[in-house]
Amino acid sequence: MTSRLWGARFTSEPSDAMANLSASVHFDWVLAPFDIAQSKAHARVLNGAGLLDASELHLMHFGLDQLREQVLNGFFVATPEDEDVHTALERGLIEIIGGAVGGKLRAGRSRNDQVATDLRMYLRNSARVVASELVEVQNALLAQASAHVDHAAPGFTHLQHAQPVSFGHELAKHIHAFSRDVERFIDWDKRAAKSPMGSGALAGSSLDLDPVAVASDLGFDGVVENSIDGVSDRDFVAEFLFITALVGVHLSRLGEEICLWSSREFGWATLDDAWSTGSSIMPQKKNPDVAELARGKSGRLIGHVTAMLTVLKGLPFAYNRDLQEDKESSIDAIETLLLVLPAMAGTVSTLKFDVDKMLKSAPEGFALATDIAEWVVKQGVPFREAHEIAGACVRAAEAQGTDLDELSDQQFAEIHPSLTPAVREVLTVQGSLDARSTINGTAPASVRVQLANAQVRLGQLHDWAKVTPHDV
């Protein structure tokens, strides 16, 4: 007997090519545990509506629990004839408990509300798994940042030396980007936490079901308010994919820095052997493949959000089969991040930094020119003029091929009378760093407070990630 959930009105079997195109069971199988949990909740409301008596409910739950075991231990698998996960699981249930009771489960629900509910459950759980791995990357960054608060490095704009910064400050910027990503998941989750069950195919159900009870059984905060929207809405997928794309973009920027820092030209960072690869022809090579793959995989993550939005654009309501395209992209986004994030955490935590080299190059490129300008401003000179005075110092130092602090007292005085020898107090890297003591600035004392705050925030994000809305 076919497991197909439809077909009575057809006189011939589907063609092979049509069945191949239609099948989703080879990828939507990840939804199986969620589908079974949903079926248990649905059986309860069928019982509440008088459509399953107590012994039937008991048998149904027994069958679904057995099926869950068999799915998890691989005893029950989908066959190519099963169109999708929902079809396969109905077949499995009927194989265990028979059609007299197993055949009653489908009353009052459609695969349209079923799949929308399963996908919300799967993504809500996955958001937490991804967030936990993200927090691990942040912890690795935090440990490195804390170890390098007092180490100065060149800071860049336009990839040119700009001003010296604390290297701990430099590393910690990535923590903040990733914290916003986890916060985006938390905010997204509020909208995703609405159950589409009860929407049926599109119009709701005439059976006396209780969608609110199903929703709370499955860890949702409530029910979608419009059944037509409930089965057609994939905003929650598009938003989820935007967040994963942005995580990818943030990983790519971190990856790019690791590539630069570990290059011979920079020579700031050495990759641990366990987190780098060699070349098949050049024996000396040690390549930053984790950082490069993180950078490269952002491409597919961006592709997924673009694909989802394109599927949704102009799509008529309510359910259309186009919507089946929502799953492969989300599954791949999750699997991609679960590959990249642990590797990135390992790479970051084992990087060794050459702090002497960073310190030596911190003032290079006249990176203390802004310090001269701001010091002159403190002497009462307008900044417009101070900027020109500092520029004249750069010109003079450049002309004689020295750094700014090698200009003589006389040269400073000739450039501008406000430039007394006391200016030398800001012409050191340490003085420059310490002076930037705003709440968000690079002074080591400020950075220490920033890191302590970041750590508290990481604890909160970790706490969110470890509570699953519904265990399956």
Could you give the residue numbers annotated as active site? Answer: 158, 279
Which of 35, 56, 82, 84 is the binder for ligand ARG (CB under 6 A)?
Answer: 84
Residues 236, 242: Cα–Cα separation, whole Å: 10
Residues 170, 166: Cα–Cα separation, whole Å: 6
Asked whether position 34 contacts ligand ARG by CB under 6 A, the answer is: no
- Nearest residue (CB) to ligand ARG, 3 versus 350: 3
- Nearest residue (CB) to ligand ARG, 119 versus 454: 119
Which of 38, 112, 232, 329 is the binder for ligand ARG (CB under 6 A)?
Answer: 112
318 prior amide bond cis, ω within 30: yes
- Nearest residue (CB) to ligand ARG, 242 versus 319: 319
Asked whether position 113 contacts ligand ARG by CB under 6 A, the answer is: no
- Nearest residue (CB) to ligand ARG, 89 versus 427: 89
- Nearest residue (CB) to ligand ARG, 324 versus 350: 324
- Provide, rounded to whole angstroms, the least separation between the CB of residue 22 and ligand ARG: 8
Asked whether position 323 contacts ligand ARG by CB under 6 A, the answer is: yes
- Provide, rounded to whole angstroms, the least separation between the CB of residue 241 and ligand ARG: 16
Pattern 9-28, binding to ligand ARG, x per CB under 6 A? ---------------x---x
Q: Measure the N-to-C terminal CA separation of the chain; round to a whole number of Å.
A: 30
- Provide, rounded to whole angstroms, the least separation between the CB of residue 90 and ligand ARG: 12
Which residue blocks in 262-325 are alpha helix, DSSP H?
A: 289-312
- Provide, rounded to whole angstroms, the least separation between the CB of residue 319 and ligand ARG: 6
> Which residues neighbour 60 within 8 Å (Cβ) at sequence distance 6 or greater?
39, 40, 43, 52, 93, 97, 101, 102, 104, 105
CA distances to 252, 368, 389, 465 from 374, rounded to whole Å, are: 35, 10, 11, 45
- Nearest residue (CB) to ligand ARG, 117 versus 361: 117
Select the span of 11-19, 44-52, 181-189, 318-326 touching ligand ARG (CB under 6 A): 318-326
- Provide, rounded to whole angstroms, the least separation between the CB of residue 139 and ligand ARG: 37
- Provide, rounded to whole angstroms, the least separation between the CB of residue 110 and ligand ARG: 7
- Residues in the interface with ligand ARG (CB under 6 A) total 10
Q: Please, are residues 79 and 19 in contact by the beta-carbon 8 Å criterion?
A: no
Which of 270, 324, 350, 370 is the binder for ligand ARG (CB under 6 A)?
Answer: 324
Which of 319, 353, 366, 375 is the binder for ligand ARG (CB under 6 A)?
Answer: 319
Q: Please, are residues 338 and 133 in contact by the beta-carbon 8 Å criterion?
A: yes
- Provide, rounded to whole angstroms, the least separation between the CB of residue 83 and ligand ARG: 7
Secondary structure (3-state) at 313: coil
207 DSSP 8-state letter? S
269-270 and 222-223 strand pairing: unpaired
Asked whether position 39 contacts ligand ARG by CB under 6 A, the answer is: no
Q: Please, are residues 301 and 248 in contact by the beta-carbon 8 Å criterion?
A: yes
How many other CB atoms are there within 10 angstroms of residue 253's CB atom? 14
CA distances to 188, 237, 247, 378, 386 from 127, rounded to whole Å, are: 9, 11, 12, 50, 51
Which of 44, 91, 111, 120 is the binder for ligand ARG (CB under 6 A)?
Answer: 111
Asked whether position 117 contacts ligand ARG by CB under 6 A, the answer is: no
Beta-carbon-side half-sphere exposure of residue 79 (alpha carbons within 13 Å) = 8
Cβ burial of 89 (10 Å; 0-12, 13-18, 19+) is buried
Residues 212, 223: Cα–Cα separation, whole Å: 6
Select the span of 110-118, 191-199, 235-243, 351-359 touching ligand ARG (CB under 6 A): 110-118
Interface with ligand ARG (CB under 6 A): 24, 28, 84, 111-112, 115, 319, 321, 323-324
